[in-house]
Amino acid sequence: MAISIAFFNNKGGVGKTTLLCNVAAYAAVQRNLKVLVIDADPQCNATQYMFEDKKLSYFYEETSSFTVYNIIRPLSLGKGYSRDLNVTLSPRFGVDVLPGDPRLALTEDLLAKDWGSAVGGDSRGMRTTLMFAELMKRCEHYDIVFFDVGPSLGSINRAVLLASDFFLAPMSIDIFSVKAIDNIAAWLTKWRKQWEVGVANVDDPDEVDTALARKLGFLGYASQHYIAKTDGSGTKRAVNAYEKIMKQFEEIVASELSSVAPSPALTNVFSLGEIPNLHSLIPMSQTARAPVFGLKASDGVRGAHFSKVKEAKDTFGVVAEEILNRVGIAR
């Protein structure tokens, strides 16, 4: 059975999609794992990052294309779950992708309405809420499935987390990320209790497989976007202004998320690793539609950039290896 992981933070601008896509590419290219990325963000940033413009035009202009909306549309029409799953390989990232679709935003109201019914034990509302969990049944040939989601505490993300074995929180180094952890913890606690009430009171157990919902665990957090300096021993460290905030993360995460979504994979350290500011390598990577560590001279890499690309492979590799280790995929 594929392991499913959501990259989730209700604060925007934390580098969530960049981290996910590079970790997914590392798992596929460096570890030779079978990886699927499901873009469940209506902004479709992961899809835009991993495909050229011509392919994007095909996804959103041709009726023969298949996106995440094709999974949801039958449910919205009352026709039940889609039996199809057509994915597209990202050539530079080396992963299969279920492309995102802006029309996914149109289902937020449907999911919110059916969530209210699901909490009351209505089997139809539960079936709608479990749409991504049911989709995972068609992903069993993958080693790992990564979900990219938008920065919200809405019904789409709730449905994704019900399909996820784990989630991790990308964090930018600012006080707003600390507050976001409080918000996530409160929201997870509330909807999990509501879901348990719905399961206990389901009106027609034969009509809905509540066992599809996965037991969500918290993997940890990754600190991003800080300015690094080299200390006397040659080790790169965050400058003092960032380091003071980073020290708060362990405490707040330990007190909030570790108890809300306990995970046997966690040690007593919640940090998955640190991604410093990669400056021009990020827009270069986005333009090339390639992982940062896969950039080449033909993508515009020059001079000192080559050493930075190599460093990026090690940087993303540390985070990716820690994630894989915590979910039980050893080297």
- For 318, phi then psi, to 5°, come to -60, -45
More confident residue, 37 or 263: 37
What residue ranges define each of the domains in the chain, with the CATH number in brackets? 3-278+316-326 (3.40.50.300)
* pLDDT of amino acid 227: 43
- The answer to whether residue 249 scores a pLDDT higher than 80 is no
How far separated are the first and last CA of the chain, in Å rounded? 18
218 touches 257 (CB < 8 A): yes
More confident residue, 52 or 76: 52
Asked which of 46-60, 162-176, 232-246 is least confident by mean pLDDT, the reply is 232-246
Could you give the CA distance from residue 178 to residue 73 in angstroms, rounded to a whole number? Answer: 36
Secondary structure of residue 91 in the 3-state scheme: coil
Question: Where on the phi/psi map is residue 273: left (φ > 0), alpha (ψ -120 to 50), or beta?
Answer: left
Residue 273: how many CB atoms within 10 A of its CB? 20
> CB-based contacts of 206: which residues, under 8 Å, 6+ apart?
none
Asked which of 38-52, 106-120, 159-173, 248-262 is least confident by mean pLDDT, the reply is 248-262
Tokens of residue 1, six digits = 């059975």
Could you give the CA distance from residue 296 to residue 309 in angstroms, rounded to a whole number? Answer: 9
Mean pLDDT value of segment 174-178: 73
- For 90, phi then psi, to 5°, come to -85, 115
Tell me the pTM: 0.92
